[in-house]
Amino acid sequence: MSIAQPVPVSPRRRSFAGGIHPPSSKRLARDQPIEVVPTPKQVRIPLLQHVGALCEATVKSRDEVVAGDLVGRSDDPVSACVHASISGRVAKESAATLPNGRRVPTVPIKAGDEQLEGQTLLDDTFGGEWPTLRLDLPRPDLILQGVREAGLVGMGGAAFPTHIKLALNPDRPIDTLVVNGCECEPYLTADYRLMLEAPRPIVTGALLAASAVGARRIIIGIEDDKRQAAEALSKAAEGTDIEIRVVRTKYPQGSERQLVPVLVGSNVPANGLPLDVGVVVVNVATAAAIARAVLRGKPMTHRIVTVTGRGVVQPKNLLAPIGISYGELIEIAGGLTPDAARVLAGGPMMGFTLGDLDTPVTKGTSGITVLTREDLQQFEETSCVRCGLCVDACPLNLVPTRIALAARKGAWNLAERYYIKACMECGCCAYQCPAQIPLVQLIRMGKAHLAAA
């Protein structure tokens, strides 16, 4: 087998049309090693942390649970079970409003006396030996079973149940597995620290995922501002046929519709999926979680969360239990600065403004960004000047201003004709707009109306 080396993609295919170059602001947290969050007094486990059907609680008030126990599941094929992230006693079921505005039931767990020590949790999550040869891997059906029982979802933001993505489909054979290590959202560094500190489980998880879907080729894509991560993964992939490919730093390079054409050379259909061109895409954190689930039988109870921005005292990358509140993670990062003005669930481009710091962290929480008043200098919205900057920036070749204004006027048929549902809400258009029109917010409003209609 060949030895993997980080190599640049052909200059003609290292990037994509459109996109923007916002300040990365990753220096705030990129040099902060992953820290384990001390066990909180209580967590609230949302019963919906994924695309698909709501789970039903499998425990009731006063039940004793151990970290990793199943606390919610659904028989619906599009769902992902949820597990206790700490040991303790179940409290009365409550509800929480997630950052996207959806209100969901939660399973509260009050911490008991017996908990895993931080170093034990860190070692159990990332340490030890991880096989890197295909001959050591379980059968595809056992891989899929392990992924489903662990409740894995995509950890790059979409939170789509991973077992569905990895299920074999004879009518749609898969040729290539793409592992997404771009992490193009400004400020966030959780994936970067994972690639730097724990590349072996990522490589093992990639081999497992490729085996499950029958892919003959594995490509890990990393932006060129993360050279150290590319080198770490190259070393971890020695002895395999995994390709480490370095692409240009550009937002939103981490979107699968932009990454697949750059790495594989095939364009994903406008209303289709990478599956339609023989490709499956998983995030690096998802790959590491696959390895842990299949080889160690560990469900998804924790995830790495970047707490960053000029509005927090000490930005950090934290291995946090699912269900801990956003506010508690901010306190672990030193708390808010006097000029903190807005807390975002996620990054500044695609994140949601957080209205309640008691909101629980979910499987899809990749970061918390706290912006200052200076960061939020507001300008008065003016009329569209038809400059075309939003069109130039759109990586999907849409006309964002027409979509947004159709949504504002309630012209729903017109909005659909302009492909409102194709928009991925990356925020490139709003970033470029000199008229300060809230394009993304208007498009989200239009999508919500059409979904409810």
pLDDT tens profile 259-294:
999 999 888 887 788 999 999 999 999 999 999 999
Task: Specify the pLDDT at position 126.
Answer: 81
Task: Specify the pLDDT at position 120.
Answer: 79
Task: Specify the pLDDT at position 14.
Answer: 64
Please choose, from the candidates 119, 111, 120, the residue with its C-alpha nearest in 3D space to the C-alpha of residue 40. Answer: 111
Task: Calculate the CA 327 to chain-centre distance.
Answer: 20
Contact 316, 332 (CB under 8 A): yes
Q: Where are the domains of the chain?
A: 119-296, 389-452
Task: Calculate the CA 147 to chain-centre distance.
Answer: 17
Task: Calculate the CA 74 to chain-centre distance.
Answer: 22
Question: Counting runs of H as helices and runs of E as strands, what totals does the chain give?
Answer: 14, 19
Task: Please give the single-letter amino acid code of residue 129.
Answer: E
Task: Please give the single-letter amino acid code of residue 359.
Answer: T
What are residue 282's DSSP bridge partners?
179
Of 3.30.43.10, 3.40.50.300, 1.20.1260.10, 3.40.50.11540, the CATH number of 119-296 is 3.40.50.11540
Question: For residues 31 and 200, what is the distance between their CA atoms, to the nearest angstrom?
Answer: 20
Question: For residues 236 and 199, what is the distance between their CA atoms, to the nearest angstrom?
Answer: 6
- pTM score, whole prediction: 0.92
Contact 125, 193 (CB under 8 A): no
With H, G, I as helix, E, B as strand and everything else as coil, classify residue 16: coil
In the predicted model, residues of the chain with pLDDT beneath 70 are 1-14, 133-135
